[in-house]
Amino acid sequence: MIKAVLFDAYGTLLDVDAAAAQLASSGKFPELQSCWPELASIWRTRQLNYTWLRSLSGSYKPFWEITSDALDYAMEALSLSNAEMRDALLKLYRELAAYEDAVMALDAVATKGFRNGGSVWGFIVNTDNDKKFRKGDILKAAGYNAPARNAARGNILDGGYCIQWTGPLYLV
């Protein structure tokens, strides 16, 4: 019996380019209209690079700080120095829209009986370098973008869990 369904959020369910596209289409920052695709690309690539480097070096930094640092890098790379634009992009990033096909997939999962009000239930530790938890530990959510780091609720890599991967084998 399936008891939980886990998804990768950023870039899989949530459109990571949406913040830049939405702000560019608002017309508030004309300089963004022609370069938003490049800004979004550099931002996401740097975000992933920073995440991987911190994971490999064991120097944890919260996701939101990495995201902000990556945006700073992307804006500097494109000579965009506007604090108001930066703040607006980060605000929009906190409310990313889901891809249309992701919404359909989530609706299909919901019809199978998996409903939790559309909120995040938990997070999976995906590194060997966490000082408190092991790779595969299930952490309850403290919010939509942060795990509660008080206690693991189990480990998906230990016995007792039947895992069916539907994408790349990120944890293998």
Instruction: Check residues 110 and 143 and name the one with the higher pLDDT.
Output: 110
Alpha carbon distance 87, 99 (integer Å): 23
Average pLDDT estimate for 152-162: 72
Q: Residue 166: how many CA atoms within 13 Å on its side-chain side?
A: 6
Give the domain ranges of the chain.
18-93, 119-159
Residue 169 has pLDDT above 60, yes or no: no
pTM of the model: 0.67
Q: What is the pLDDT of residue 41?
A: 97
The DSSP 8-state label assigned to residue 81 in this structure reads: -
Q: What is the pLDDT of residue 164?
A: 55
Interval 45-92: pLDDT, tens: 999 899 888 877 878 788 889 999 999 999 999 999 999 999 999 999
Active site residue 15: no
CB distance 55 to 125 below 8 Å: no
Please tell me whether residue 140 adopts helix, strand or coil conformation: strand
Q: Which of 8, 87, 128, 158 is catalytic?
A: 8
User: Amino acid identity, residue 152?
Assistant: A
Residue 168 has pLDDT above 50, yes or no: no
Alpha carbon distance 75, 77 (integer Å): 5
Fold entry, domain 18-93? DNA polymerase; domain 1 (1.10.150)
Mean pLDDT score across all residues of the chain: 80
